[in-house]
Structure 1
Amino acid sequence: MTIPPAASLHDPAESFYSRWQALNDWLVRHRPLWQQAPFTEPVPEWTLQHPELAARVAGLDDERCRVLDDDLARLAGLLCDALPSLAAYPDLVSLPDLSPPGGRVHRATLPEVRAVDMPGRKRLQSGAFAAALEPLREPVMDWCCGKGHLSRTLAAVCPEPVRGYEWNAELVRDGNRLAAQFDDAVAVQCQDVMAPDFVFPTDAHGVALHACGDLHRQLIRRASEVRLPRLSFSPCCYHLTDASPYRLLSARARRHDAALQLSRNEIRLAVQETVTAPARVQEQTRKVSQWRLGFDALQRQLRSCDEYLPVPSHPSRLIQEGFEAFCQWAARKKGLVLPATTDFEHWSRVGDRRYSQVRRHELVRHLFRRPLELWMVLDYAIFLEEQGYRVRLGAFCDRTLTPRNLLLDAVRVSGTPPVVRSRP
């Protein structure tokens, strides 16, 4: 498999397509490793097909799992003796670093005293995003702007007023209040950007920081239709879409004979990484996962059916009430009656063992999160180049600030008509 180096992502359109094609074919080849969710499958099929790989991850202790989950390139290197095709992983996920020097990021970041109602990470993410876009020349349109945190950040480095679009009227009021309080050149407008009668501006620089799913795809389509001079966005929550299976945007990718067909649940894998949760939240998540796996083992025996039974989100009070209370609640939700003789301590221990097993199987699956995300984002880049844009793709900040750190920055090439005008 020949993979263009990351630096070539600044080259003509062929490099984007070559990268996408290499990713697509690699993901298709390894689909058994990531398609099944270990949480729902006690013995994923790949563990039978690749017993040496399964043995490698089964032998990892908890601390090693934690370290390798934070360094997936290292994990791929550790496992490539058992599965040589994993050696391609670092090249497949490599990207240019678009983050500017720290001084520029600091200047573009709102001071804490002005960042009212703005979470600390959002403040730093907005500053890094804004710095990566400088210089700004056209009036900025902030797509799905919420309270206008990014709008207010960009206003400090933009020569023109910033306009934000947001459908939630309460957030619109808060955004305009904050802009007025700090005398920012920002106006937030109440607007459903998905509305068919929305009149799209034609002379703006469209920006979006973590617009979800169909919202950022709508921006891509509409911006290219009206030929916005520039479009810069960091996508998020790709699985939030009305389309199932997932539909590629670019004509070239859709013509590929072996293009992946993905369900929404499969796409969800791309955004499962979390590096920002507090330790308390991480511990609660671990505990509830163990409980759910313990209940899953219990219900399989009770129903004499070796099949996963989805359980809805639990009320927060159950965290304090323990495993037995969780099982009784889950059983009621699924119309099951637990025998009075149920040995909850036994099933709790089963859940602990299953959690340990799932964590190790998930390590292998996690290798495919970033490749799946890049598979979608490279398709966006190809589409925009088909529409006459010169595109940069890379990371605007370190993943420790946000795992959704990809930036697509597209500038319309003057006088260039779209190569392809296509709709999914």
Structure 2
Amino acid sequence: MTLPPPQSVHDTARSFHSHWCELDGWLRAHRVFWQQAPFTTPAPAWLGEAVQLGRWVEGLSDSDCQQFEDDPERFAMLAAERLPSLRAREELIRLPALDGPHLALAEVDARDMPGRKRLQAGAFAGAVRPLRHDLLDWCCGKGHLARTLAPWTPGRLDGFEWDPDLVADGNRLARATGASVTLHAQDVLAEDCPLPAAVHGVALHACGDLHRRLMTRAAAAALPRLSLSPCCYHLTASGTHQPMSARVRQRSGRCCPGREELRLAVQETVTAPARVRQQTLKVSSRRLGFDGLQRQLRGVDEYLPVPSHPPALNAGSFADFCRWAAQRKGLTLPESLMFDGWEDYGRRRWHQVRRHQLVRHLFRRPLELWLVLDYALFLEEQGYRVRLGTFCDRKLTPRNILLDATLDHRTASAG
């Protein structure tokens, strides 16, 4: 496979635009590795092009796979020995650490707050200090981030959340802990959503259109500061990615990922318990077994999406799952069908998918950063000075990117 050599990457002083351009070129050159999902494509096209990499990956043991799933950077280093163009990845995804003092709430004050969320909110709070304005916690849930920031906020601290039950719970927690926080039931996507003047907007893991809405509203209102950690880029009303930056929109030949490719950017999770991994193996194997069966029944060699199944089916047999899935897709199963053979096929396919996914997952972070750099460029174009980096280690959350934008009043006045 012929790919361009690794490009030189600027130091931390490089512009967001040059960084985005380098990532864009690298992702387009490697699109064969990340645009096809191994779950739906039994033989991804890259297998015929990166032969050495494919042979190595398919020869990995289950123990190897487990190790590399837990340590993706180790896998990236070894994969680059088989495909040298992957060597640029490490520098292309490097970001400075913006972490500060850890300001997690004391456990006694973190009621109804999952332990990992408590630590994430504390890391985020430390990274955005000092605070100089009233705060608005966007898509705040029960206000966990707001309560964490409250001791460090010089003025008002409000939160917007569309679910009234979460708002009620959040206000109850604020009163119980003595936090000066007020949550409001508000759909932030509504056209009439109010936006207080001169507030510092914060959002920890607001999804898709919700964090994009915050950026556009903040820029239009010239809010003095905006700090967010984006998540779930695929949760959007648009079928494909719609760039926010004028410079990205003007560049021809961009990647234009669809919703499924955007989903790839957030597929990395922290290490799952053994129970969850076993459940994933069981569910995935059954779906892949049915996929092989439906291709034969229909005489069509393509993936057929099956909706989420009732949890009760997990306790049933593979045959029960196939009968349920066939009914949902309007297929008739032969009376003489040998389910055991297709169940074995599903296990073999999962063995294959797991290995091919290791390669596709190399592009999760590059694709996420490609998206976030577009956001940084947009905010620059709106007159903000932007800090972009990580607010915590990926072991706490893989969604650890922080965009911290402060309005440059000189630029805003000139505009």
TM over 0.5: yes
User: What is the aligned partner in structure 2 of residue 12 from structure 1?
Assistant: none
Identify if the C-alpha distance between structure 1 residues 269 and 6 changes in structure 2 by more than 3 Å, giving closer, same or farther: farther
Whole-angstrom distance in 1 between the partners of 2:11 and 2:338: 55
Letter aligned with residue 7 of structure 1: T
Residue in structure 1 matched with residue 3 of structure 2 by the alignment = none
Could you report, residue by residue, the CA deviation over 1:323-377 in whole angstroms, capped at 9, with x for unpaired residues?
1211111111112222222222211111111001011111110011001100010
Counterpart secondary structure, 1:368: helix
- Partner letter of residue 22 of structure 2? A
> Of the candidates 281, 285, 288, which is equivalent to residue 290 of structure 1?
285
The CA distance in 2 between the partners of 1:386 and 1:334, in whole Å, is 48
Are positions 1:154 and 2:149 aligned together?
Answer: yes
The answer for the alignment partner of 2:200 in structure 1 is: 205
Q: CA deviation at 1:293?
A: 0.6
Residues 28, 419 of structure 1: alpha-carbon distance in 2 compared, 3 angstrom cutoff: farther
Q: Give the CA RMSD over aligned residues.
A: 1.6
Q: Across the two proteins, how many residue pairs are aligned to each other?
A: 410
Whole-Å separation in 1 of the counterparts to 2:143 and 2:296: 52
Partners of 2:115 and 2:12 lie apart in 1 by: 32
TM-superposition CA deviations, 1:299-338 (whole Å, max 9, x none): 1122222111111101111111121211111111112222
Q: Is the 8 A contact 1:140 1:162 kept in 2?
A: yes
Q: Match for residue 7 of structure 1?
A: 12
How far has the Cα of 1:88 moved from its partner? 0.5
> Contact conserved, 2:136 with 2:202, CA < 8 A, in 1?
yes
State the one-letter code of the partner of 1:199.
Answer: P
Question: What is the aligned partner in structure 1 of residue 61 from structure 2?
Answer: 61
* d(CA) in 2 for partners of 1:223, 1:16: 20
- 1:265 deviation in Å? 1.3
Overall identity of the aligned pairs, in %: 57
> 1:171-223: CA deviations, max 9, x gaps?
11111111111111101011111111223222111100000001100111111
Using structure 1 for the length normalisation, give the TM-score: 0.93
Partners of 1:4 and 1:205 lie apart in 2 by 33
* Alpha-carbon distance in 2 for matches of 1:419, 1:267: 36
Give distance in 1, aligned partners of 2:128 and 2:92. 25
The aligned runs of 1:80-95 (5 Å cut-off) are 80-95=80-95
Determine the C-alpha separation between the residues in 1 that align with 2:303 and 2:123: 42
Which of residues 396, 407, 412 is equivalent to 1:412?
Answer: 407
Structure 2 residue aligned with 1:216, among 187, 204, 211? 211
- Per the TM alignment, residue 382 of structure 1 is displaced from its structure 2 partner at its CA by 0.9
Q: CA deviation at 1:281?
A: 1.9
> Residue 307 of structure 1: SS of its match in structure 2?
coil
CA apart distance, 1:140: 0.8
User: Counterparts of 1:6 and 1:192 in 2: how far apart (Å)?
Assistant: 41
Out of 247, 252, 255, the position equivalent to 2:250 is 255
Letter in 2 for 1:344: F
Structure 2 equivalent of residue 356 of structure 1: 351
Map of 1:353-392 to 2, 5 A cutoff? 353-392=348-387
Q: Is the 8 A contact 2:36 2:44 kept in 1?
A: yes
Aligned-partner SS, 1:385? helix
Q: Is the Cα contact below 8 Å between 1:246 and 1:261 reproduced in 2? A: yes
Q: Unaligned stretches of 5+ in structure 2?
A: 1-5
- Aligned residue in 2 for 1:49: 49
Task: Compute the TM-score of the two structures, normalised by the length of structure 2.
Answer: 0.95
Counterpart of 2:395 in structure 1 is 400
Matching residue's letter, 1:135: P
Unaligned runs of 5+ in 1: 10-14
Conserved? CA contact 1:165–1:189, under 8 Å:
yes
For the residue of structure 2 that corresponds to 1:80, the secondary structure is helix
The worse-fitting range, judged by mean Cα deviation, of 227-236 and 59-68 is 59-68
Residue 280 of structure 1 and its aligned partner are, at CA, apart by 1.4
Counterpart CA distance in 1 for 2:307 and 2:275 is: 22
Question: How far apart, CA to CA, are the structure 2 residues paired with 1:56 and 1:242?
Answer: 39
Q: Please tell me the residue identity of whatever aligns with 1:2.
A: Q
Contact 1:140 1:205 in 2 (8 A): yes
**3-state SS of the aligned residue for 1:75?**
helix
Partner of 1:76: 76
